[in-house]
């Protein structure tokens, strides 16, 4: 995999905690579920949480056709997507050195609405399966009305960077002799037992996608 054009992104501060190759970028994108999408509308910066999906080197977003987000981006506009995975809290002997173990990615590119029906279906299937692999084949097909109300945006990845931190706290050398607890509190996303909808028909069993999703999350 070739690196993205990350030379446009600053590498000065904490460059030892950064990566710019597509393998690192894709790994975080594929594990994350919700991204923070940044764009400008009405001369104001706006950031909103959104589910997404990656297909190759393209990221797909979607939303109601009438939303400000879609209206601002549908014709091609700069957009930023950030995804962060929290792995633990790092409690140092000083407030200054306390931190978080994390993996994050920031993408810069341009979003444009796709009108191609085949691409729209690929994108919507990818977004659905990103939440629960295989779910697209289990749900009822989207109606024509639902598809008309939904816009699919294709985001190119023009530049990308990963940032991460791992390991124990790094205190000032003289602070290691202080009688203060320091260490890491690990964080992990565990999936609980599926909770069926109260109106679920009694003969409906837990589908393969749900069982598989629990296995994937708890197996990380």
pLDDT at residue 182 greater than cutoff 90: yes
Take residue 129 and report the two structure tokens written for it: 């399966």
- Tell how many helices (H) and how many strands (E) occur in the chain: 5, 10
| 3-class state of residue 169 by DSSP | coil
What is the mean predicted confidence (pLDDT) over 184-200? 91
Whole-number pLDDT of residue 219: 80
Is 70 exceeded by the pLDDT of residue 1?
no
DSSP 213: H
> Quick one: tokens of 16?
């030892």
Mean pLDDT of 125-149: 95
Question: Any bridge partners for residue 154, and if so which?
Answer: 60, 112
* Average pLDDT estimate for 194-214: 92
Separation CA 122–CA 168 (nearest Å): 42
Confidence of residue 3 (pLDDT cuts 50, 70, 90): low
Higher pLDDT, 16 or 105: 105
| Higher-scoring residue by pLDDT: 171, 75 | 171
Length of the chain: 220
Q: Where in the chain is the domain with CATH 2.30.110.10?
A: 6-86+102-167
pLDDT above 90 (res 104): yes
Tell me what pLDDT residue 177 has.
97
Q: Write down the pLDDT at residue 106.
A: 96
Q: Is residue 96's pLDDT more than 90?
A: yes
Question: Which residue matches tokens 């999906």?
Answer: 53
pTM for the predicted model, two decimal places: 0.86
- Range 6-86+102-167: architecture per CATH: Roll (2.30)
Evaluate if residue 142 carries a pLDDT over 60. Answer: yes
Instruction: Say how far residue 37 (Cα) sits from the centre of its chain.
Output: 10
Question: pLDDT tens across 26-85, in order?
Answer: 999 999 999 999 999 888 999 999 999 999 999 999 999 888 888 888 778 899 999 999
Tell me the average pLDDT of the chain.
90
**CA neighbor of 94 nearest in space, from 182, 210, 155, 167:** 182
Q: 209: Cβ–Cβ under 8 A, 6 or more apart, which residues? A: 132, 133, 134, 135, 138
């Amino acid at each position: 995999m070739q690196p993205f054009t990350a030379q446009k992104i600053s590498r000065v501060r904490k460059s030892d905690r950064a990566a710019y190759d597509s393998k690192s970028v894709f790994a975080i994108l594929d594990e994350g579920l919700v991204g923070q999408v940044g764009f400008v509308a009405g001369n104001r910066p706006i950031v909103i949480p959104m589910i997404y999906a990656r297909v190759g080197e393209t990221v797909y977003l979607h939303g109601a056709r009438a939303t400000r987000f879609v209206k601002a981006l549908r014709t091609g506009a700069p957009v930023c997507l950030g995804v962060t995975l929290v792995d633990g809290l790092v409690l140092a002997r000083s407030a200054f050195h306390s931190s978080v173990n994390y993996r994050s990615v920031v993408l810069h590119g341009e979003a444009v609405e796709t009108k191609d029906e085949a691409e729209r279906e690929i994108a919507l299937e990818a977004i659905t399966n990103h939440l629960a692999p295989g779910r697209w084949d289990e749900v009822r097909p989207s109606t024509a009305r639902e598809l008309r109300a939904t816009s699919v945006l294709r985001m190119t990845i023009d530049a990308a960077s990963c940032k991460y931190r791992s390991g124990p706290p790094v205190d000032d050398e003289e602070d290691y002799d202080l009688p203060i607890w320091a260490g890491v509190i690990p964080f992990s996303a565990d999936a609980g037992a599926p909770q069926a909808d109260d109106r679920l028909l009694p003969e409906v069993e837990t589908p393969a996608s749900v069982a598989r999703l629990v296995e994937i999350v708890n197996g990380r």
